[in-house]
Amino acid sequence: MATVYDFTVKDRTGNEVQLSEYAGKVLLIVNTATGCGFTPHYDPLEAMYKEFREQGFEILDFPCNQFANQAPDSDDEIHEFCTVKFGTEFPQFAKIDVNGDNADPLFVYLATEKPFVSFGKGLKNTALKKFADMNNKAFGDKAYIKWNFTKFLVDREGNVIARFEPTTDMAEVRAAVAAELEK
């Protein structure tokens, strides 16, 4: 059975990184964008990283420009924005596609393991779903990720155990990470 550790990705400088390097750690894998309404998620993400990294926690950040052109900058510009504005220290990888024919195999795997269910209830969430559906129409059945800041929680064995849409309260994400670290 495949796990996250079977995948190789590129870091922001283009070097290949085998995710098996993170074996034994709890991971939160996130697709991000610097110009998104959810970009402030970087603050609670960095806070979690600082709080939990000594317990074997890593956040893997994958910028993506497939959602309303919200991450058009280069990998270096994105990295500078995140480190200067949000003080991020967690690993940031090369910008990727998460949907369509060129979707990174890691994100195809993550979304296959934990498919999209919903953005939740409420007017904002309904509006986001409508906008996301329009944006993702071009990807057809290969619209694996619905929007920026979708998060996947991975256990210490490399298994995908939860998916959090960007509309999920970050306190809920933090609680899930803390619970997984206690196992």
Predicted pLDDT of residue 125:
86
Is 4-181 assigned to CATH 3.20.20.140?
no
Predicted pLDDT of residue 1:
73
- β-pairing, 16-18 vs 57-63, is unpaired
What Å distances lie between residue 31 and 77, 103, 117, CA to CA?
16, 12, 17
Instruction: List residues with catalytic annotation.
Output: 36
Q: What is the 3-state composition of the chain as percent helix, strand, coil, each rounded to the nearest 5?
A: 40, 15, 40
Q: Is 160 helix (H, G, I), strand (E, B) or coil?
A: strand
Please list the alpha-helical segments (H only) found in 36-93. Answer: 42-52, 75-86
Q: What is the mean pLDDT of residues 54-65?
A: 98
Which residue has 């926690």 as its token pair?
A: 57
Q: In 11-123, which ranges are E strands?
A: 16-18, 26-32, 57-63
Q: What is the mean pLDDT of residues 125-135?
A: 89
Q: Is 76 helix (H, G, I), strand (E, B) or coil?
A: helix
Predicted pLDDT of residue 131:
86
Predicted pLDDT of residue 124:
84
What Å distances lie between residue 140 and 19, 54, 80, 100, 162, CA to CA?
28, 41, 33, 8, 24
- The more confident residue out of 130 and 181 is 181
Predicted pLDDT of residue 127:
87
pLDDT tens sequence across 82-98: 999 999 999 999 999 99
Predicted pLDDT of residue 145:
96
CB 70 within 8 A of CB 36: yes
What is the average pLDDT value for the chain, to the nearest integer? 95
Query: Is the confidence at residue 170, as pLDDT, over 90?
Result: yes
Which of the residue ranges 6-15, 93-102, 129-138 would you say has the lowest mean pLDDT? 129-138
Going from N- to C-terminal start, the domains of the chain cover 4-181
Q: Is 4 helix (H, G, I), strand (E, B) or coil?
A: helix
